[in-house]
Amino acid sequence: MGHASITLSHATKQVNGTVQLTGSKSESNRALIIQALSKGKVQIKNLSSADDTVLLTAALQQAHAAGENVKTIDIGPAGTAMRFMTSYLNLCTGQFVLTGSARMQQRPIGILVDALQHMGASIAYKNQPGYPPLHIQGPFQQANPEVAIKGDISSQYISSLLLVASATEQGLSLKIEGELTSRPYVTMTLNMLAEAGIQHTWEGNTIQIKPQAAQESTIYIEPDWSAASYWYAMVALSNAGEVRLPGLKRNSLQGDREIADIMTHFGVNTTFEDEGILLQKTTITSDKQLFDFKECPDLAQTVVVVASALKRDVSFTGLETLKIKETDRIAALQNEIAKYGAKLIADGETYHLKTADVKEPASLDIHTYEDHRMAMAFAPLALVFNAVNIHEPQVVEKSYPSYWEDLSKLGFSIK
């Protein structure tokens, strides 16, 4: 959808139907690294069609292709791919320049690079210290298996190290310093490694993985709970809603499964069925005042938008990592919800949503800041307001390429 903007509306304000979601981007990208290191032993089913996964697939192929002395690998805006390839390329033979989009070159990578250099990796910064692009020479001679890394910056740094640990000469003993944010993503990584036969121990704040080979296995990628969150938002904001999402499981590896619990407070009931889940609009809500997104930061935009449209004055914590995502998501949220009168006010590390001045504009103009989650989080407002204009709608291809098509199937008009 290569348009500068699209206009969304919904005639009935009711959503009813079945939506087949793509495979989880988070699981897919981990599975690709595990497969690449498995020497052909690990197979993948239901791989995501998201741009980030396509970019990582291409980057892995490029890393092993015959050719130039120094290979430039450009992963565009794919943050997970940048973090995972930063570790992976140290196990490959050759010289590599790992780069990305202009925004990617503003996103910090220093903590991960420091950890890898401590292990013996040969990595240098091409431009600004602490940021891509990186010059990597592999394979590295491991000097030290013991690494300490802060737990409250980005769980992707930790996952990046864990994914390659079993393929290093001495393995990895990773000490997590301080509080671990986004813990479910680290648990996901370890569980997926276990599916491929890679064992670990986690005692106290130290995770240990010894050198070992993957086993013959198939990793099945569950549909994406992050993508499901937007359908929860649509049911919550509809006049009446019932949506089935096949393939999602109660015992998911994905931290964003928390959306099922969070949305009970906004009038959405989840029924776990044999084939997936059923979302239903109810009149049952709660007076819960504080929501913590430390374990599931990718849900924050969705829930802030839903709460603002329902005029729920609630507070949020655990938003620290949102400032270093595709954009500064806190600033972006504040800018866009202000267009219909809502305010998100910082109070230390807590943010208070104020909705007393929420109004209904004739039409709403939403900027997306090159951030897929901004586009998808604000689109459900077409169930509340008459028309919502979304700028740069193609950003959804990063994680949910069929998003606009799926909206269209469930009654949204897209012009």
pLDDT of residue 181: 82
pTM of the model: 0.83
Mean pLDDT value across the chain: 95
Q: List beta partners, residue 347.
A: 350
- Where does the pLDDT of residue 265 fall: very low under 50, low under 70, confident under 90, or very high at 90 and above? very high
211: preceding bond cis by omega (within 30 degrees): no
Contact 233, 377 (CB under 8 A): yes
Q: List beta partners, residue 99.
A: 74
Q: Is the pLDDT of residue 105 over 60?
A: yes
Q: Annotated catalytic, 298? A: yes
Q: Does CATH place domain 25-220 in 3.65.10.10?
A: yes
- Where does the pLDDT of residue 324 fall: very low under 50, low under 70, confident under 90, or very high at 90 and above? low
- Where does the pLDDT of residue 152 fall: very low under 50, low under 70, confident under 90, or very high at 90 and above? confident
- Span between the terminal Cα atoms of the chain, in Å: 11
Ranges for all domains in the chain classified under CATH 3.65.10.10: 5-22+223-414, 25-220
Please write the tens of the pLDDT for every residue from 363-388: 899 999 999 999 999 999 999 999 99
CA dist., res. 152 & res. 110, Å (int) = 14
**Quick one: tokens of 278?**
């059923």
List, edge to edge, every strand of the sheet that includes 146-150: 146-150, 172-177, 206-209, 201-203
- Where does the pLDDT of residue 2 fall: very low under 50, low under 70, confident under 90, or very high at 90 and above? low
CATH of region 5-22+223-414, choose from 3.20.20.10, 3.65.10.10, 3.30.365.10, 3.40.50.300: 3.65.10.10
Regarding predicted confidence, which is higher, 214 or 2?
A: 214
pLDDT of residue 321: 75
Q: What one-character DSSP code corresponds to residue 23?
A: B
Q: Which of 76, 72, 136 is nearest to 100 (CA)?
A: 76
Q: Which strand (E) or helix (H) includes residue 272?
A: strand 268-273
Q: Is the pLDDT of residue 3 over 80?
A: no
Q: Is the pLDDT of residue 326 over 90?
A: no
Query: Is 11 exposed, middle or buried (CB count within 10 Å of its CB: 0-12, 13-18, 19+)?
Result: exposed
Query: Which listed residue (51, 224, 298, 406) is catalytic?
Result: 298
Side-chain-side CA neighbours of residue 24 (13 Å): 26
Looking at residue 378, its amino acid is: F
Please write the tens of the pLDDT for every residue from 352-366: 999 999 999 988 999
Q: Which of 254, 233, 286, 248 is nearest to 410 (CA)?
A: 233
Q: Is the pLDDT of residue 155 over 70?
A: yes
